[in-house]
Chain A
Amino acid sequence: MIKIDKVSFFYGEDAKADNGIRDISLTIRTGEFVVLCGKSGCGKTTLTRIINGLIPHFYEGQLTGTVHINDYEVTKEPLAKTARKVGSVFQNPRSQFFNVDTTGELAFGCENIGIAVDEIWKRVEDATAKFELAHLRKRSIFELSGGEKQRIACASVYAVHPDIFVLDEPSSNLDAPSVEKLRQVLQKLKEEGKTIVISEHRLHYLAGLADRFIYMENGRITYTFRAEEMWSMKERELAEKGLRCLNIKNIKKHEDGIERLTGERLSICSLVCKYNGKPVLEVPELCLHKGEILAIIGPNGAGKSTFAGCLCGIIKHRGRFDISGKPIRAMERLKNSYMVMQDVNHQLFTESVLDEVTLGAKDKDAEEAKAVLAELELENREDSHPLALSGGQKQRVAIAGAMCTGKQFLIYDEPTSGLDFISMRSTCRLIRKAAKSAFLSAIITHDIEFILECCTAVLHISGGTVCDYYPLDEAGVNKVKDFFIEGLICTPAKAGRWEQL
């Protein structure tokens, strides 16, 4: 049993800061599956850190109240001792591995607490069997996909045999099949009677698992829902609370779709991209409309990023791209392209928002830049440091940069991973706005809600080639939903020519 009693916590020294949690009292029974939900920045993550002891032992700040696991007081005992009782899985699969090889990582927790070698091997065998990871043993973590990394993380925590699992947005970087695999892992943990606390935006995959939902706002718990109450919640209420969909089937297509232009088209011919001598992407023929907002979907490692990279000319490839018969070379496309990356921090270079959006623009027109900033609700932020902004604002700055420099090909790499409903919607608005002045917008995404809210067509890439391309009309909507619900495997047609009339 976890007993949190009147806990408040603020990061840093300022007790008035709005970045902590206040007055939280919560009891979680042994074997219970609790979901922490709420808008970005509501304090979900902080609460998970309270339970696994990272607060106050790692993140410093002002803490009051007590946290008990049975008779064990988490706040008083050292972190290494809590590690035996509470296992933690984090959001970013890139940064939670200490080892370079998967086997070492699976054993890491056990090694740290000095378990005998034979016993560790037994546990590692057991964990790999249970989570079906045998094929991932003895691999380098740098060649695993995000989903595989998260499963290794779960298994390696499992090997320590903790009673409690704390997961902080584990699904935010995963594709649909990986989310399903994660669900199976959680199911097994639940069946074994483990207590599970999970902070999450995506809720639909937790159906049948979650016992209780804790809704947080501004660092406080404002609602608690039992599973039945949650699953019967109306869409309107969900939207108000900033929660993501509970059931993919019920998502509606955004109505005022952008007019599909019938003028110019970008046609791609015999595109081949090789990596280490092996072809990783082959597209015989593909025609894309001007003004399209294209969702690029498909499993991890299928070639989505490679396709996007070829499209904007940053990856070496062979093949012809032309607009209405006029060829447009890779260098030219690169000059006219812009990619909003998954980790926006990689693309902020300067010391003020205004400098940032005009960086790389030939004639730096401050007035025009200001107009764009105003349009993106950043008008008061011109002089702020880009790195000091919130995640959503950083993303807006990056998009503003693309708009100011008049780029024609806009690529977004999973722009909505880890966003709540409200932020996801505002990202949609932005992308639509930016798309108006661009030739083509392409979005690599695993987020079905976002696709239906924002995109006009779907490009399905699988096995290194285009295996489907369709507009999001009624039939298209059903098709894409089916893909996300059932994880249908799409068989590539090698010689296919993809074009819509």
Chain B
Amino acid sequence: METAIVFQRHSIHLDPRTKFLLLFTVGGVIFANISRETEIIIFSVLSILTIFEHQYRTFLRFGSVFAIMMLVDIFVAPHLSGALGAAVLTLVRIPRLLIPICLSSTLLIRTTTVSEFIAAFQKIHVSEKLIIPFSVMFRFIPTVKEEWCSISNAMRFRGIGVSALNMLTRPMETLEYVMVPLLMSTATISGELAAASLSRGLDSDIRRSCITQVKLGLADYIVILGAVVLVAETVVR
């Protein structure tokens, strides 16, 4: 499992709402035919925020992939032509656009605690009926990953693993073998999780408190301003 250490007290810790905004802004502009320079600026800003949140490994991983793709694009691709050139461009450009989106969603997921998430969205009066499912969703994505790993191992022992061969020769059967245990364990674990949470007072009518202070600070406003500028610039152009 990846390390997902959550830091709370340090120089800059963005509000979950800001991180959401950041994610949507990045997603919104990245496909809008922006220049290579803008792409680098967006990525650099995200990297700085990632470093401030002490997610060094995340930064290194995304940063190195991004840098390689960028360097190949700038220095190698212009010298290639024909089918090879097109192939290289496809490989280094399209997936590269996804990197800022992945980085900002990783930033959101890794550095937001469930408690902060609930508090932030309660503040802007989002309904409980959405807050609870979404906070569970956060927590459950790594669980799905864990379950998936052990199910796929189990399938390999039976010779029905999720391989290209099996997916092409018997797609429906493979789909069933994947889905049955995956759905079984989701149903069981979610039931147990619900029992545990309710027995610890999740259902209470009393207004929830939150151990970390959630409010928009200077850093949040700067990031929000930056996002607005970015969107405005993209729209005007």
Q: Mark B144-184, 1 if CB is under 8 A from A, else 0.
A: 00110011011111111000000000000000110011001
A residues 166-182 touching B (CB-CB < 8 Å): none
Q: Which residues of A contact B196 (CB under 8 A)?
A: 88, 90, 95-98
- B198 in contact (CB, < 8 A): yes
Instruction: Give chain B's interface secondary structure class.
Output: helix
Distance A394 CA – B143 CA, assembled complex (angstroms) = 23
Q: Which residues of A contact B51 (CB under 8 A)?
A: none
Known contacts A90-B195, A95-B192; A100/B184 CB under 8 A: no
Distance A83 CA – B209 CA, assembled complex (angstroms) = 16
- A371 in contact (CB, < 8 A): no
A residues 119-139 touching B (CB-CB < 8 Å): 120-121, 124, 138-139
* B211 with A120: CB separation less than 8 A: yes
Nearest A-chain residue to B193, judged by Cβ = A95
User: Could you say which of B6, B180, B201, B206 contacts A109, with CB atoms under 8 Å apart?
Assistant: B201
* B160 with A360: CB separation less than 8 A: yes
* A54 with B206: CB separation less than 8 A: no
User: Could you say which of B114, B160, B176, B195 contacts A104, with CB atoms under 8 Å apart?
Assistant: B114
Q: Which residues of A contact B177 (CB under 8 A)?
A: 349
Q: Mark B110-149, 1 if CB is under 8 A from A, else 0.
A: 0001110000000000000000000110110011001100
Known contacts A117-B209, A140-B1; A108/B195 CB under 8 A: no
Nearest B-chain residue to A57, judged by Cβ = B198
Q: Mark B37-53, 1 if CB is under 8 A from A, else 0.
A: 00000000000000000
Distance A108 CA – B117 CA, assembled complex (angstroms) = 13
- B7 in contact (CB, < 8 A): yes
- A233 in contact (CB, < 8 A): no
The smallest C-beta distance from B35 to any residue of chain A, in angstroms, reads 36
Q: Which residues of B contact A338 (CB under 8 A)?
A: 157
Q: Mark A52-95, 1 if CB is under 8 A from B, else 0.
A: 11100111000000000000000000111111101110101011
Nearest B-chain residue to A102, judged by Cβ = B6
User: Could you say which of B5, B158, B194, B206 contacts A138, with CB atoms under 8 Å apart?
Assistant: B5
- B3 in contact (CB, < 8 A): yes
User: Could you say which of B8, B142, B181, B198 contacts A349, with CB atoms under 8 Å apart?
Assistant: B181
Please indicate which of the listed interface residues B7, B8, B150, B201 has the most CB atoms of chain A within 10 Å of its own CB. B201
Distance A58 CA – B190 CA, assembled complex (angstroms) = 13
Count class of interface residues, chain A: 35 or more
Known contacts A79-B199, A95-B189, A111-B209; A140/B3 CB under 8 A: yes
- A113 in contact (CB, < 8 A): yes
Q: Which residues of A contact B181 (CB under 8 A)?
A: 345-349
* B154 with A339: CB separation less than 8 A: yes
Distance A82 CA – B203 CA, assembled complex (angstroms) = 11
- A285 in contact (CB, < 8 A): no
User: Could you say which of A59, A95, A360 contacts B158, with CB atoms under 8 Å apart?
Assistant: A360
- B207 in contact (CB, < 8 A): yes
- A38 in contact (CB, < 8 A): no
- A293 in contact (CB, < 8 A): no
* A343 with B113: CB separation less than 8 A: no
Q: Which residues of B contact A99 (CB under 8 A)?
A: 113-115, 139
Q: Which residues of B contact A142 (CB under 8 A)?
A: 1-2, 4, 142, 146
- B79 in contact (CB, < 8 A): no
Please indicate which of the listed interface residues A53, A96, A314 has the most CB atoms of chain B within 10 Å of its own CB. A96
* B4 with A83: CB separation less than 8 A: no
Q: Which residues of B contact A58 (CB under 8 A)?
A: 194-195, 198-199
* B192 with A90: CB separation less than 8 A: yes
- A143 in contact (CB, < 8 A): yes
- B202 in contact (CB, < 8 A): yes
Nearest B-chain residue to A387, judged by Cβ = B184
A residues 293-333 touching B (CB-CB < 8 Å): 312, 314
Nearest A-chain residue to B6, judged by Cβ = A101
B residues 1-24 touching A (CB-CB < 8 Å): 1-8
Distance A326 CA – B124 CA, assembled complex (angstroms) = 68
- A245 in contact (CB, < 8 A): no
- B204 in contact (CB, < 8 A): yes
Known contacts A314-B153, A387-B184; A54/B199 CB under 8 A: yes
Q: Which residues of B contact A154 (CB under 8 A)?
A: none
The smallest C-beta distance from B29 to any residue of chain A, in angstroms, reads 29
Q: Which residues of A contact B90 (CB under 8 A)?
A: none
Nearest B-chain residue to A80, judged by Cβ = B204
User: Could you say which of B2, B193, B200 contacts A157, with CB atoms under 8 Å apart?
Assistant: B200
Known contacts A109-B200, A138-B7; A334/B192 CB under 8 A: no
Q: Which residues of B contact A160 (CB under 8 A)?
A: 200-201
Distance A79 CA – B7 CA, assembled complex (angstroms) = 32
- A389 in contact (CB, < 8 A): no
User: Could you say which of A100, A111, A114 contacts B211, with CB atoms under 8 Å apart?
Assistant: A111
Distance A54 CA – B203 CA, assembled complex (angstroms) = 12
Q: Which 10 A-B pairs have the closest CB atoms?
A: A83-B201, A80-B204, A95-B192, A112-B201, A347-B154, A96-B196, A140-B4, A114-B206, A360-B158, A101-B6
> 21 A-B residue contacts at CB 8 Å?
A52-B199, A57-B198, A59-B195, A79-B198, A98-B139, A108-B115, A138-B7, A140-B3, A140-B5, A143-B1, A312-B157, A338-B157, A339-B157, A343-B150, A346-B185, A347-B181, A348-B181, A349-B177, A359-B158, A359-B160, A360-B158
Chain B residues with CB under 8 Å of chain A are 1-8, 113-115, 135-136, 138-139, 142-143, 146-147, 150-151, 153-160, 176-177, 180-181, 184-185, 188-189, 192-211, 213
Chain A residues with CB under 8 Å of chain B are 52-54, 57-59, 78-84, 86-88, 90, 92, 94-101, 103-104, 107-117, 120-121, 124, 138-140, 142-143, 156-157, 160, 312, 314, 334-335, 337-339, 341, 343, 345-349, 359-360, 387, 401
